[in-house]
């Protein structure tokens, strides 16, 4: 029995479950977003840390940045989009982990019951791949939502935010490329 697909499934699941830590890195930028409680932290090399609260309060190096009501509304939406992305990613990671665990259990059960055949590993691996691929599409779409929301804030004239708006359209493209390569 070829066990390579079976070994891949738990590894994929562990990587995806890492999303539960609420850390987000997007392709095409050198920034890092993390969520601590309800606060989004934005870390960009060579810039002071910026934070964003659910009410749209934006701070750079601990100092609140003055915003218009329209900018604050855009910041609230951006905050909500980041949290939704993190929540969706965590749920996807749990589902992928469940698919990998089920695949491993089925493989062990088949091996010890004598039901294993030459193509079993490939079939189980394909099942996990299909489950992962089906869940990635909405995650890639959510990256588009975060990007659009970030662009709206950056284009609102909030100059203090602009250096932290590091996402590019490449962020979701990279997600889709990863999905296609599974």
The pLDDT assigned to 100 comes to 73
Confidence class for position 116, pLDDT limits 50, 70, 90: low
For the chain, helix (H) and strand (E) counts, in that order, are: 4, 6
Q: pLDDT of 140-156, one tens digit each?
A: 888 889 999 999 999 99
Domain ranges of the chain: 4-20+68-180
The pLDDT assigned to 154 comes to 96
Q: pLDDT of 55-114, one tens digit each?
A: 999 999 999 999 999 999 999 999 999 998 888 877 777 777 777 777 777 777 777 776
Provide the percentage of residues in the chain whose pLDDT is more than 70: 75
* CA 76/CA 9 separation, integer angstroms: 37
Overall average pLDDT of the 41-56 stretch: 94
Q: pLDDT of 161-171, one tens digit each?
A: 999 998 888 87
State yes or no: pLDDT of 126 exceeds 90.
no
Q: In this structure, what are the phi and psi dihedrals at residue 42, rounded to the nearest 5 degrees?
A: -115, 115
The Cα-based distances of 41 to 15, 134, 153 in angstroms read 22, 30, 16
* CA 74/CA 165 separation, integer angstroms: 13
């Amino acid at each position: 029995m070829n066990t390579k697909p079976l070994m891949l499934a738990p590894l994929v699941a562990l990587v995806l479950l890492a999303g539960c830590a609420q850390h987000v890195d997007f392709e095409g930028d050198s920034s890092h977003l993390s969520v601590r409680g309800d606060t989004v932290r934005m870390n960009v090399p060579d810039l002071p840390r910026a934070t964003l609260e659910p009410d749209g309060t934006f701070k750079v190096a601990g100092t609140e940045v003055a915003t218009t009501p329209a900018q604050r509304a855009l910041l609230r939406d951006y905050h909500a989009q980041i949290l939704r992305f993190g929540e969706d990613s965590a749920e996807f990671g749990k589902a992928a982990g469940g698919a990998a665990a089920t695949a491993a259990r089925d493989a062990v059960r088949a091996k010890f019951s004598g039901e294993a055949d030459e193509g079993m590993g490939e079939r189980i691996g394909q099942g996990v791949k299909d489950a992962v691929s089906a869940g990635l599409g909405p995650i890639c779409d959510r990256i588009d939502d975060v990007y659009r929301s970030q662009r709206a804030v950056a284009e609102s004239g909030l100059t203090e935010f602009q250096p932290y708006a590091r996402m590019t359209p490449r962020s979701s493209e990279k997600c889709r490329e990863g999905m296609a390569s599974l």
